[in-house]
Amino acid sequence: MTPHQLHHLNFLKIAYNNFIKQAPFASEEISSEEEQFILNFQKLIQDFEAGSENVYNDGENFIDQAFKMYPRLAHLMARDLLWYFGGKCLHNMPDSEIDKFQILDELRFEAEEKGEEFDYLNKRAHLFGLN
């Protein structure tokens, strides 16, 4: 797994841990729909770890579903996941944010072409004004 993929796997795991601590998932009894959502979240993480070829399509569909089903919890999911899975997920991002992620990808590709190490989190923080 590349460092870039590892960052996004960690973003997924953090989102999962955040989701299961919130209502309705933290309740003792949850609906079958909510239980299936959590099971799908776990499967996405497992498939990502296993390098499944379907992870991008499944991830796009899952993230899109999460934003539609649980919009009040959407802030618990790193915006990077929207960009990473792309497609329908991009509808949840303003153009200015998409532009920043494009720049971040270009910087990463440039570093990879030169054989240089790329500090994704530091570059991301700098580009988004987080440091």
**Full 3-state SS string of the chain:** CCHHHHHHHHHHHHHHHHHCCCCCCCCCCCCHHHHHHHHHHHHHHHHHHHCCCCHHHHHHHHHHHHHHHCHHHHHHCCHHHHHHHCHHHHHHCCHHHHHHHHHHHHHHHHHHHCCCCCCHHHHHHHHCCCC
Q: What percent of the chain has pLDDT over 70?
A: 99
**What are the pLDDT digits (tens) for 57-80?**
999 999 999 999 999 999 999 999
**What are the pLDDT digits (tens) for 1-30?**
989 999 999 999 999 999 999 999 999 999
Does residue 54 sit in the same domain as residue 87? yes
Does residue 37 sit in the same domain as residue 72? yes
Q: Number of folded domains in the chain?
A: 2
Does residue 105 sit in the same domain as residue 67? no
Q: Residues for the chain: how many in total? A: 131
What's the rounded mean pLDDT across residues 109-128? Answer: 94
**Mean per-residue pLDDT over the chain, rounded:** 95
Does residue 88 sit in the same domain as residue 98? no
Does residue 73 sit in the same domain as residue 112? no
Does residue 45 sit in the same domain as residue 83? yes
Does residue 31 sit in the same domain as residue 80? yes
Q: Residue 23: which domain range?
A: 3-92
Contact 92/74 with Cβ under 8 angstroms? yes
What's the rounded mean pLDDT across residues 95-103? Answer: 96
Given this model, what pLDDT does residue 130 score? Answer: 80
Does residue 83 sit in the same domain as residue 113? no
pTM: 0.92
At CB < 8 A and 24+ separation, what contacts does 118-122 make?
A: 118/3, 118/4, 120/3, 120/4, 120/7, 121/7
Does residue 78 sit in the same domain as residue 47? yes
